């Protein structure tokens, strides 16, 4: 057995956890292989070439459109690709990624285009779109249920194998960092998706970047901890607001309210941080915690 392919258990030999390069850290991610169905292709070009030499990959389920989960699509030209309808357009039009990350005509655009070029991202033809709660039958033993879990992206999906209770949570990834900086991200939906998963019977969870978590109790604890990161950010942002003096989005620029530190992608991360803070403002407005005032925000 090659070292980056790990059977989920001795009982279910045709379900394999596929560990991504750099332990699944961006710009790579982990995958799950169920017979000839691969979930996500961002493990790295090198590892995906190895994987397809050893295992048939005839079908690919994409959890969402982000580059770290789809960069290997071009290496599987004969496979059939599936994705939720709300993410289909971007997979078929990767030149629109900049627009959906909100970085067009920004200092981060050149930096990000370099990254996409290095990943050799190409358009992918989608065979069919996925629908919430539909079941895909894989061989004689496996049934994959599609669970639409939006928030990270509009079409983000979780995949649950019903017989084994193995779930691929994708970018509800249970790490210490929660990301929702796309123009199609929605913070309220993200929290609703986390709550939705807490009600699902999952024995083994595979996430895009953390890897394998076993045990229903442990998985629910991790989901609670993950959601608490959003709530801590809520409190941090709200602490800057008052009932009289408006505060503006630009006031938060470069304050590391979400990123503890900026990496080599600093230009992008500063912009992404502002976009995510705006998602909090959108949430606060919707639930009535704040109101707009002279293009800024004050507490209700």
Q: Is the pLDDT of residue 151 over 60?
A: yes
pLDDT exceeds 70 at position 1: no
Q: Which domain holds residue 271?
A: 233-299
Whether residues 210 and 100 share a domain: the answer is: yes
pLDDT at position 19, please?
Answer: 98
Task: Inform me whether the pLDDT recorded for 273 exceeds 70.
Answer: yes
Tell me: pLDDT of 49 over 70.
yes
First to last CA, the chain: 59
pLDDT at 162: 97
Contact 92, 122 (CB under 8 A): no
In this prediction, residue 108 carries a pLDDT of 87
Q: Which residues pair with 64 in a beta bridge?
A: none
Residues 53-109 have pLDDT tens digits of 999 999 999 999 999 999 999 999 999 999 999 999 999 999 999 999 999 998 888
How far, in Å, CA of 61 to CA of 46, rounded? Answer: 20
Do 213 and 244 fall into the same domain? Answer: no
| Dist. CA 273–CA 69, nearest whole Å | 21
> What is the length of the chain?
300
State the pLDDT confidence band at 41, using cuts at 50, 70 and 90. very high
| Average of per-residue pLDDT values in the chain | 95
Q: What is the pLDDT at residue 113?
A: 85
What pLDDT sits at residue 11?
83
Q: Domain boundary residue among 205, 230, 255?
A: 230
CATH number at residue 22: 3.60.15.10
**CB within 8 A of 81, min separation 6: which ones?**
59, 60, 62, 73, 91, 124, 125, 126, 127
pLDDT of residue 264: 82
| One-letter-per-residue 3-state SS of 93-132 | CHHHHHHHCCCCCCCHHHHHHHHHHHHCCCCCCCCEEECC
Q: Are residues 144 and 255 in the same domain?
A: no
Residues 143 and 282 in one domain: no
Number of domains the chain contains: 2
The predicted structure's pLDDT at residue 247: 96
pLDDT at site 110: 85
Query: Are both 162 and 263 inside the same structural domain?
Result: no
Write the CB contacts of 264 (distance below 8 Å, at least 6 apart in sequence). Answer: none
Average pLDDT score over residue span 40-46: 98
pLDDT digit string, tens, across residues 152-171: 999 999 999 999 999 999 99
290 alpha carbon, distance to own chain's centre: 28
Instruction: Check residue 50 and give its pLDDT.
Output: 97
Rounded to an integer, what distance in angstroms lies between the CA atom of residue 31 and that of residue 49? 14
The percentage of residues in the chain with a pLDDT greater than 90, rounded to a whole number, is 90
Distances in Å between the Cα of 35 and the Cα atoms of 13, 32, 187, 198, 201 are: 9, 10, 34, 27, 22
What was the pLDDT predicted at 116?
85
Q: Is residue 66 located within the same domain as residue 155? A: yes
């Amino acid at each position: 057995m090659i070292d980056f392919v790990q059977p989920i258990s001795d009982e279910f030999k045709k379900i394999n956890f596929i560990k991504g390069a750099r332990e699944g850290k961006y710009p790579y991610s982990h995958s799950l292989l169920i017979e000839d169905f691969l979930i996500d292709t961002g493990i790295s070009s090198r590892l995906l070439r190895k994987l397809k030499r050893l295992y048939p990959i005839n079908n690919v389920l994409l959890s969402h459109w982000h580059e770290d989960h789809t960069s290997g699509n071009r290496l599987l030209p004969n496979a059939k690709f599936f994705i939720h309808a709300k993410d289909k357009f971007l997979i078929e039009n990767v030149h629109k990624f900049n627009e959906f990350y909100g970085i067009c005509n920004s200092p981060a655009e050149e930096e990000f285009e370099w990254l996409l070029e290095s990943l050799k991202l190409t358009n992918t033809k989608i065979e069919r779109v996925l629908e919430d709660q539909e079941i895909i039958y894989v061989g004689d033993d496996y049934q994959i249920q599609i669970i639409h879990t939006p928030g990270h992206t509009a079409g983000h999906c979780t995949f649950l194998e019903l017989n084994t209770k193995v779930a691929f949570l994708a970018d509800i990834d249970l790490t210490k960092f929660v990301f929702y900086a796309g123009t199609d991200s929605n913070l309220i939906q993200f929290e609703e998706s986390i709550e939705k998963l807490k009600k699902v019977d999952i024995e083994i969870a595979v996430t895009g970047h953390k890897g394998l978590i076993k045990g229903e109790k442990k998985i629910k604890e991790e989901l609670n901890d993950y959601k608490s990161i959003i709530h801590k950010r809520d409190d941090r942002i709200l602490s800057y607001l008052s009932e009289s003096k408006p505060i503006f989005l630009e006031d938060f620029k470069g304050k590391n309210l979400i990123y503890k530190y900026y990496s080599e992608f600093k230009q992008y991360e500063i912009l992404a941080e502002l976009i995510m803070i705006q998602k909090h403002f959108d949430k606060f407005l919707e639930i009535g915690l704040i109101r707009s005032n002279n293009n800024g925000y004050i507490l209700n």
